[in-house]
Amino acid sequence: MSAHETETLSDAEHASFEHPPFEHPMDNIIVRPLDFEVEKLEPSQVVWSETSPEFAIYLNAFGVHVPYFERYLIRSMSTAKKHVTDERLRADMSAITGQEAHHAKNFLTFNKLLADRYPRVSELDERARKYFTEHAKTDSLKKLVGFTAGYETFTFLAGMIILANYEKWMQDSDPAIKALWVWHQVEEVEHGAVAFEVYKELFGDHEWYRKYMILTALTHIGKEALAAYFHMARVEGYFKNPVSAVKATWFVFATFGQMVWHSLPTFSSRYHPRVHPLATTKQNKIAVAWRRYLKKGGDVLTIDRAKMKEIIGFG
């Protein structure tokens, strides 16, 4: 743990990480090269959650630009790694780039289906590609790492929020797409501290800039995700009557609002992802069981109700 990182934690918190009562999900990050057969779906099946169709649209919308951010993150961590000397952190940087490379590969495949279903997705996809490709080339090291850390604030929070609402949002859904998103959320939590720690290692004295980048990332995520969401909801017919229009609108702002609310602790100068309230309460049972199940050779490429029951009851 770097000097800057230690400064953000109390002595008791620091000690608890050295002798934790449980294996913290951010320890021993593993790269899992999984390929999900999402291309077998028809475009008409992309609203993949029967439990909450609005949630499926929300994640689909969020996922349009995510693969290009993940490539930006890879560039950010690869560039910053030359300036980091802490071997544990360097290993985590290698792990996060490995995880994100596999995320991007799977989501780019799925986004082709979204483009077949929604006329504007190709335009939004290309806009995201150009934005992140250009900024990956021109951003300073501080901006690369700062924006990555800011953005990862919300993918980390989304991972915990989504897994906590599994039964409410994902229980009855397409097995392959559900499996894809469970994998993604588990790993977003696992590497949720890496970019933060890199920023603290390299630019820890510039705390104001870290907070500014959180707001910058939030604005960017909101702009991209909301544009895609309302387009998709309109195509799916949600705005043909006032009741469904209100339902769709309420869902997206309420869900996005959860991320904003849970981001408030990140603005503390003593913040560290490991001590976020969502990360230090009882660990999510699905995430814990999923890791254990896969480690023992279980198949997590499709997850239906029966498979999730098996995963949770495994071991």
Residue ranges making up the domain that contains 240: 53-281
**CA gap 167, 256 in Å, rounded:** 18
In a domain, 30, yes or no: no
Q: Where are the alpha helices (DSSP H) in the chain?
A: 3-7, 11-18, 53-80, 87-117, 121-138, 141-164, 166-169, 175-190, 194-203, 207-235, 242-262, 277-280, 285-295, 305-313
Task: For 244-287, write each residue's pLDDT tens digit.
Answer: 999 999 999 999 999 999 999 999 999 999 888 887 656 788 99
Tokens of 70: 């993940």
**Domain total in the chain:** 1
In a domain, 255, yes or no: yes
- Residue 213 near residue 147, CB atoms below 8 Å: yes
| pLDDT by 10s per residue, the chain, length 315 | 333 333 333 444 333 333 344 567 788 899 999 999 988 888 889 999 999 999 999 999 999 999 999 999 999 999 999 999 999 999 999 999 999 999 999 999 999 999 999 999 999 999 999 999 999 999 999 999 999 999 999 999 999 999 999 999 999 999 999 999 999 999 999 999 999 999 999 999 999 999 999 999 999 999 999 999 999 999 999 999 999 999 999 999 999 999 999 999 999 999 999 888 887 656 788 998 999 999 999 999 999 999 999 999 864
- Residue 237 near residue 248, CB atoms below 8 Å: no
pLDDT (0 to 100) of residue 282: 63
- Residue 235 near residue 248, CB atoms below 8 Å: no
**CA gap 143, 136 in Å, rounded:** 10
Contacts of 167 (CB under 8 A, 6+ apart): 51
Q: Is 134 exposed, middle or buried (0-12, 13-18, 19+ CB in 10 A)?
A: exposed
In a domain, 10, yes or no: no
CA 82 to chain centre: 25
**Domain harbouring 221, CATH code:** 1.10.620
CA distances to 53, 170, 173, 234, 243 from 237, rounded to whole Å, are 12, 21, 20, 5, 11
- Residue 93 near residue 80, CB atoms below 8 Å: yes
In a domain, 308, yes or no: no
- Residue 271 near residue 157, CB atoms below 8 Å: no
First-to-last alpha carbon distance for the chain, in angstroms, is 32
In a domain, 195, yes or no: yes
pLDDT (0 to 100) of residue 281: 57
Q: Is 297 exposed, middle or buried (0-12, 13-18, 19+ CB in 10 A)?
A: exposed
Residue 38, helix vs strand vs coil: helix
pLDDT (0 to 100) of residue 211: 98
Sign of the alpha-carbon dihedral angle for 262, 231, 114, 215: negative
Residue 206: enclosing H or E segment and its boundaries?
none
In a domain, 65, yes or no: yes
- Residue 124 near residue 147, CB atoms below 8 Å: no
In a domain, 86, yes or no: yes
In a domain, 11, yes or no: no
Q: What is the CA radius of gyration of the chain?
A: 19
**CA gap 263, 270 in Å, rounded:** 14
pLDDT (0 to 100) of residue 18: 37
pLDDT (0 to 100) of residue 35: 94
Task: For 1-15, write each residue's pLDDT tens digit.
Answer: 333 333 333 444 333
Tokens of 197: 């720690």
pLDDT (0 to 100) of residue 276: 86
**CA gap 211, 21 in Å, rounded:** 31
The CB density around residue 287, as the number of other CB atoms within 10 Å, is 21
- Residue 255 near residue 58, CB atoms below 8 Å: yes
